[in-house]
Chain A
Amino acid sequence: MKHHRIQKHLSAYLDNELTSVLQKKVDDHVRVCQECKDMLADFKVNRELIAELVQPAPSMKDAVLAKIRETENVGDNFISTLRRWIFRPITVGATAFSTVCLVVALYYFTYSPVPQYDELVDFYFGVHTEEVANNPLKSNVVTPLSSPETDTEDFGEETETLLDLYFED
């Protein structure tokens, strides 16, 4: 196996995480390769250095439990504040007044004698239609000036006679 491929396994080799076959190959390579040997030695030293960073931790139990109580009290405080605010005399008065206003407004809009929108629309359309029907100038319906029916229209016997006399001349 080539040098750079072996080098990739040095870390797992240090942690005994390789298969026995691969472990043997890396073992053989490290014996003869100074670069890999140095790298492995540095890995070991650095591992020990990091392990030395471990130190006694300060006791956190009281602080954590205090924080827990604090966060839970915040919830309790919010509810009690809300409750106190709700039952303040001024809040009760304002709430009662608002409720009365709301009820009056609802009653007014529900039982008011003012005609509803659709009734008003129907009323205005009816008036408009009637007015247009009585006044042709306001009518939008275009009547054709001449139509086939005009020519065949029966003008009456007297008119027919006059027309025949006129065309005979």
Chain B
Amino acid sequence: MSVTSLTADMETYSEIAQVEEFDSQQERELILRCQERDTAAMGTLVVQYQHWVYNIAFGLLGHHEDAQDAAQDAFLSVWQNIDSFQFRSRFSTWLYRIVRNKCLNVIDQRKRRKTDPMEIDDSQPWVPLDNVTPEHETLRTEQNEILHAALDRLKESYRTILILRELRELSYEEIAEVLNCTLGRVKSRLHEARKALRIELERIDW
């Protein structure tokens, strides 16, 4: 790994570390400053949320560049619509809803183009992720691709709920807020989504 990329990673990790230090009061102040068109405050919000926004987008789209574009578009939408945020819901759930909508747009565009971004070799077996040799790193990448392929075959609502729960580890209440549905609906949909993923992974037979 080069010094430049290591430094870049260090910056990224230090930015992630900052995320944990924010509390709701600081967040509220940042949002208020954004509503007064303070770009520096927006920059801080981006740093605070970029990790999860990117990962949710990547989980839903399975493609790095698309995920990055969707995440950036989501932040731009936040900036353009920050005045409409009235603190009635959590900022994070509002933001994740925007991310989801941006990802749905990308998926719609893909459908219109009728391309398949998931051209993968699924002949390799699943390996424990603790192994860090180059071979295992390759297998891990392929393992992730297979998982993305399985996720990609699910209904959008199943994929979204799995990413929000398993990857972002949102509570059922937060998921209900993001998806704008009831707790009961979250429970049943999550169960159906897990069952569907299990079937898809069995079908791929890795």
Interface residues of A (CB under 8 A from B): 8-12, 15, 17, 39, 42-43, 46-47, 49-61, 63-65, 67-69, 71
Contacts and interface: CB of A to CB of B under 8 A. Distances in A.
Contact of B129 (A12, A52, A65): A52
Given A11-B194, A17-B172, A50-B162, A59 B12 contact: yes
Interface residues of B, number: 49
Contact of A51 (B71, B76, B167): B167
Given A15-B172, A53-B144, A67 B68 contact: no
Contacts of A65: 39, 42-43, 46
Interface of B is mostly: helix
A65 to B, nearest CB: 6
Contacts of A56: 9, 12-13, 16, 51
B166 A50 contact: yes
A60 B8 CA distance: 12
Contacts, number: 110
A67 B140 CA distance: 34
Contact of A59 (B8, B39, B169): B8
A19 to B, nearest CB: 12
Given A8-B191, A53-B58, A64-B76, A46 B13 contact: no
Contact of A55 (B11, B55, B151): B55
B96 interface: no
Contact of A53 (B55, B72, B187): B55
Interface in B41-90: 42-43, 46-47, 50-51, 53-55, 58-59, 68, 71-72, 75-76, 79-80
B99 interface: no
Nearest to A18: B187
A10 B198 CA distance: 13
B201 interface: yes
Interface string B135-160: 00000100110011001000000000
Nearest to A63: B72
Interface string B166-197: 11010010000000000000011011001101
B15 interface: yes
A15 B191 CA distance: 11
Contacts of B165: 15
Given A55-B55, A57-B51, 11 more contacts: A15-B165, A47-B166, A50-B167, A53-B58, A56-B12, A57-B12, A64-B43, A64-B46, A64-B76, A65-B42, A71-B76
Contacts of A8: 188, 191
B29 to A, nearest CB: 18
Identify the interface centre among A53, A64, A65, A71: most chain B CB within 10 Å of its CB: A64
B32 interface: no
Contacts of A11: 187, 190-191, 194
Given A17-B187, A43-B194, A68 B79 contact: yes
Contacts of A60: 46, 50, 54, 68, 71-72, 75
Contacts of A68: 39, 42, 76, 79
A58 B148 CA distance: 19
B104 interface: no
B163 interface: yes
Nearest to B43: A61
Nearest to A54: B55
Nearest to A62: B43
